[in-house]
Structure 1
Amino acid sequence: MQALEADLTASRGSSVALGFFDGVHLGHQAVIRAAAEDAAQNGCSTAVFTFQLPLNSTMKGGRLQSEAEKHRVMAQLGVEHCMEPPFEDVCGFSPEEFVEKILHRGFKARAVFCGDNFTFGKKAAGNVEMLRELCAPLGIRVQVVPMATYEGQLVSSTRIRAALAGGDIPAVNAMLGRPYRIDFAVRHGKGLGRTLGFPTINQIYPTGFAEPKYGIYITRVKVNGQWYAGATGFGTRPTVNTTGEGATCETFIPDFSGQLYGEEPELEFYEYIAPSRKFDTLEELTACVNDAAAKAKAYFAARG
């Protein structure tokens, strides 16, 4: 997937999916797939218009994925080109300017695809009906894609954040259409786990990301192209935290030995198995970690 350049799409035109696409959940995937199918049928490029927000922005809530993960999933869905300007660069466009500058001139759009709650232009002045009115004279088709549902309710990034905060990982994964995943760089910790016999990789959630519920999770980690079962603790490490440190995401990988400092392994969450708690002894902490690792290995062994 490439950043959009005029000469890449000028000859064929584009079928364009529109949205912020945080999480690229089932509803987002439906919009992107509709654009990809249309592009294939009409000899166009599959493209996405989205935008970047500062991590400290609260406009869309805590992030569900990194930009790299967002682009990886979109590329898997067939997106060839992506225009993703900073929000401040486009938020002042009127609806008319958005259609003319972005869709018509930028993408050479032949068709655009969005959900029925899509808004655009300065102060979200444009809605789907206005999009149809502005696109029609330019020969741009507008297709509204039905919103996806899960357990009878609409799938949304807000709903996924709430499930994540509640530790309902199966619901999170069902609405995402894939396992919830982080790919943050591994940092140096205090090395206590190694001392106790369960060395961990330490990945810190950046400011602005939605966080899971504090507790212990069954996870798996991709290292050098291979997946390993893992036991992940997310929280403030109440047994050993004596300085008021913030939350950490630490994963014990029982079948892997080696150091991953500075690397960005993919960590996928599958089940919440226990809340965070303060143990009376380090021996109890060690037993808890080893038990979680055994449950993780059994979980994946049962699923092949």
Structure 2
Amino acid sequence: MKERVIALGFFDGVHLGHGALLRRTVEEARRRGCTPAVFTFDRPPKEVVTGIPCPLINSPEDRKDLLRRLYGISDVLMVPFDREMMTTPWDRFVTDILVGRYHAVHLVAGHDHHFGHKNQGSPELLAEKCAQLGLGCDIIPKVEIGGITVSSTYIRRLVELGQLERAAEYLGHPHTLTGRVAHGRGIGSTRLFPTANLTVPPHVLVPGHGVYVTRVYLPEGDSYAAVTNVGTRPTVNNGSDVTVEASLLDYSGDLYGKQLRLEFFRHLRDEMRFDSTDALRRQIACDAEATRQYFTRRD
């Protein structure tokens, strides 16, 4: 039987508030000699209960990757939020699911974590139940930066506004978007650099429209600085569907069909319409130079 120390939460963004839970989980698992794990859901419970779509900072796959890559938690229990989960009383959620099904010996939750049927489980009740069952329990206080509580809700707003540098302060890492490269309009070669049109996963936020300094990670692990346009590409696309198009600097090769991880660092400028593709090319060259300088200063 694999005993686990389990962190509880949805972990959208995997931000610095989550980081406090995750570090405590890893520390306790190491002390006990068991497995650090995260229990989370495949979709937001609030969306299922209310029927109102909730755009997320990250796809489920990106959440898993960030938990593993940044905090060393590879045991991510990503469970469907179905009728069973929605109707399980909070105390049975602890005894039957976390302990009975997933062999929890210690639970870690945030100061505002609610769970179980109608969200009736609270941090206080969780601590009491763990004490009754002889389980370890940590309730992690809120994390603040500059007087603002670190929360997924606040970070979502920053991403929507295109304030990616500020979002990174609360995330503790660059905003991340992973997607597969789809066929675009075939104009990448006219733009000085190979371009990748990313298919955005369903229910995932894209940053506010504009041009960004980014870094693209290929499946093989190599990474390239990139200028990324988020928006409707008004010069070449007649301002219709929203696209995420990354122009990779110093890369040559075929990107179609590859899964790329995009990290956003800084908003460069707003999206704009140019009178000609030549004018667009000149602007992309300027954006590329600004992007190179950004990473040179960071290095």
Separation of aligned partners in 2, 1:28 and 1:158: 13
Tell me the alpha carbon deviations over residues 168-187 of structure 1, each in whole angstroms, 9 at most, x when there is no partner: 11111111111111110000
Q: What aligned pairs does 1:28-47 form with structure 2 within 5 A after superposition?
A: 28-47=18-37
Tell me the alpha carbon deviations over residues 229-260 of structure 1, each in whole angstroms, 9 at most, x when there is no partner: 11111000111223x53110111112111111
The aligned amino acid for 1:144 is I
Tell me the alpha carbon deviations over residues 143-187 of structure 1, each in whole angstroms, 9 at most, x when there is no partner: 111222222201111111111111111111111111111110000
- Two-structure CA RMSD over aligned residues (Å): 1.9
- For structure 1, list consecutive stretches of 5 or more residues without a partner in the other structure: 1-6
Separation of aligned partners in 1, 2:202 and 2:62: 17
Which residue number corresponds to residue 5 of structure 2? 15
Tell me the alpha carbon deviations over residues 40-89 of structure 1, each in whole angstroms, 9 at most, x when there is no partner: 11222212111111798676831212222211222232325232211114
Structure 1 position 81 matched with structure 2 position 75: yes
Separation of aligned partners in 1, 2:222 and 2:290: 19
SS at match of 2:235: coil
- For structure 2, list consecutive stretches of 5 or more residues without a partner in the other structure: none
SS at match of 1:280: coil
Aligned residues: 293
The aligned amino acid for 2:90 is P
Which residue number corresponds to residue 238 of structure 1? 234
- Kindly indicate whether the alpha-carbon contact (under 8 Å) linking 1:234 and 1:247 is maintained by their aligned counterparts in 2: yes
Structure 1 position 124 matched with structure 2 position 114: no
Structure 1 position 139 matched with structure 2 position 129: no
Q: What aligned pairs does 1:253-292 form with structure 2 within 5 A after superposition?
A: 253-292=248-287
Which residue number corresponds to residue 62 of structure 2? 69
CA deviation after TM superposition for structure 1 residue 297, in Å: 1.0
CA deviation after TM superposition for structure 1 residue 204, in Å: 2.5
Deviates more, 1:271-280 or 1:106-115: 106-115
Deviates more, 1:49-58 or 1:115-124: 49-58
- Of residues 162, 171, 179, the one that matches 1:176 is 171
Q: From the superposition, tell whether residues 155 and 59 of structure 1 become closer, same or farther in structure 2 (CA, over 3 Å).
A: farther
Q: What aligned pairs does 1:75-224 form with structure 2 within 5 A after superposition?
A: 75-76=68-69, 77-88=71-82, 89-223=84-218, 224=220
Deviates more, 1:61-70 or 1:17-26: 61-70
- Kindly indicate whether the alpha-carbon contact (under 8 Å) linking 2:37 and 2:76 is maintained by their aligned counterparts in 1: yes
- Kindly indicate whether the alpha-carbon contact (under 8 Å) linking 1:119 and 1:126 is maintained by their aligned counterparts in 2: yes
Separation of aligned partners in 1, 2:114 and 2:11: 13
TM-score between both structures, scaled by the size of structure 1: 0.90
Separation of aligned partners in 1, 2:79 and 2:199: 26
